Amino acid sequence: MTSPAVGAPLVDWSAAAQIAGRVARPGPLASRDELAELVAGLRTAASDAVPHVLRVTRMAPAVLPSGAAPGAVASEGPTELSQVFVVDRSRWARANTEVMASLTDGVADALTGKDDKPVSATTALVGAAQVGAVLAALSSRVLGQFDPYSAAGGGADSAGNPGRLLLVAPNVLQLERDLDLVPADFRLWVCLHEQTHALQFAAAPWLADHLRARAHDLLVGLSESSRQMADARWREKVATAGRVVVRAVRGEGGVADGLLTADQKAVLEEVSGVMALLEGHADVMMDAVGRRTVPTVRRIRAQFEARRDGQGSSTLDTVLRRFLGMDAKLAQYRDGAAFVRAVEKQVGRDGLNAVWSGPETLPSALEIAEPGAWVRRVHG
């Protein structure tokens, strides 16, 4: 019998990293020269994207590089917005255990304080298996990710330290081949999106801690609900789990949605509103650079949207996307982009940038759906 571990986290993150790394599928076959060119091309694209992002967003890091004068960042050319790492699927999955470990730090302690029942080593290992399997499944679907949270990446903070940008090389290569895209254009396009995320957190250094705090509140609530579920009768567990899975596969919400209380749903909606803003803003800006910067941008966008809609996807892939809540992620891009465009139409890009002023100017989920309400609240 495994005894509770004092101060143990909810998940054994070391074990989760090992599982995720081993289970993640390898990428497409490529020669050594192709891989070397791919890595070099992604690093170049990540660097080239920075001045375009600074120009088109009309934003700047809140903390300027040492010796830089106010307003100089946007005019002096490339500026480091992130630490760039070109990774394979296995490394991406392992890196995300570090992100999740950072986001869940303190959750186990909060729960322990309620009932003095520390998380057992067995529970932490079960969590590791579940997290590792999910990250391995997701690892073939992510092109890039900006990480402002994990200690391993340094973490974007008020001192101006950039977070890390993970570019998943095999997935970029796979999509270039599947959609017959111009590699240089597509790589820059992907990096424009991710470096926009880097700039969002650099321009609003309070944002990472704000999201971390709200995620902490949500995770504590979800974990408490899970504990209550564990104490329920077997028949109740099966019935609840069955309803949740069926709703997820039908596209009526992710797995967690079926387990949320009213208060937890309110926090989730708040976080979802912010995530829609972040994703939609990056989506609009990556296209706003125009054809002079990315000559085939319209073709890339059209084919990418068709792929998001599931054209060519197998039934299994569609079910998996819904089960993991990935369809909700895709909706965030579109809802957020519609919000950004609507706000810009009313108050311009500089007016839109008021969203980065502080937590009080972030849009709610309702305001994402009704941009005029946000404009009235923030701009009067």
Check if the beta carbon of residue 74 is closer than 8 Å to that of residue 55. yes
What pLDDT band is residue 203 in, cutting at 50, 70 and 90?
very high
| Dist CA 9 CA 13 (whole Å) | 8
> Is 80 exceeded by the pLDDT of residue 64?
no
Most confident of 30-44, 105-119, 205-219, 324-338: 30-44
**Nearest 5 degrees, angle CA 274-CA 107-CA 325?**
45
With vertex at residue 248, the alpha carbon angle to CA 141 and CA 95, rounded to the nearest 5 degrees, is: 35
The tokens describing 367, both together, are 């305001």
Dihedral angle at the C-alpha atoms of 38, 39, 45, 46, nearest 10 degrees? Answer: 150
Distance CA 125, CA 292 (A): 51
Rg of the chain over CA atoms, in angstroms? 21
Average pLDDT, the chain: 80
Residues in contact with 169: Cβ distance below 8 Å, sequence separation at least 6, in sequence order: 27, 35, 38, 39, 42, 86, 87, 88
Residues 248 and 321: their CA atoms lie apart, in Å, by 9
Q: What confidence score (pLDDT) does residue 351 get?
A: 98
Evaluate if residue 291 carries a pLDDT over 70: yes
**Report for 40-44, 117-121, 322-326: range of highest mean pLDDT:** 40-44
168 vs 147: CA distance, rounded Å: 13
pLDDT band at 119 (very low <50, low <70, confident <90, very high): low
Q: Is pLDDT of 303 > 70? A: yes
pTM of the predicted protein model: 0.83
Sign of CA pseudo-dihedral 303, 307, 308, 310:
positive
Residues in the chain: 380
Structure tokens at 19: 């599982």
pLDDT of 310-352, one tens digit each? 555 444 444 444 444 555 556 778 899 999 999 999 999 999 9
Report the SS3 class of residue 370.
coil
Overall average pLDDT of the 232-260 stretch: 49
> From the CB of residue 62, how many other CB atoms can be counted at a distance below 10 Å?
14
Question: What average pLDDT does this structure show over 11-29?
Answer: 91
Over pLDDT 90: what percentage of the chain?
49
Please report the pLDDT score of residue 162 as a whole number. 77
pLDDT at residue 173 in the model? 98
Say if CB 155 and CB 105 are below 8 A apart. no
* Position with higher pLDDT, 168 vs 71: 168
* Nearest C-alpha neighbor of 83 from the set 139, 20, 167: 167
- Biggest CA–CA distance in the chain, Å, is 65
Instruction: Single out the residue of 207, 200, 175, 169 nearest to residue 84, CA to CA.
Output: 169
Asked if 33 and 148 touch (Cβ cutoff 8 Å), the reply is no
Residue 225 has pLDDT above 80, yes or no: no
Is the CB of residue 73 less than 8 Å from the CB of residue 79?
yes
- pLDDT given for residue 159 in this prediction: 52
Tokens encoding 1: 């019998």
| 226 neighbors 211 (Cβ within 8 angstroms) | no
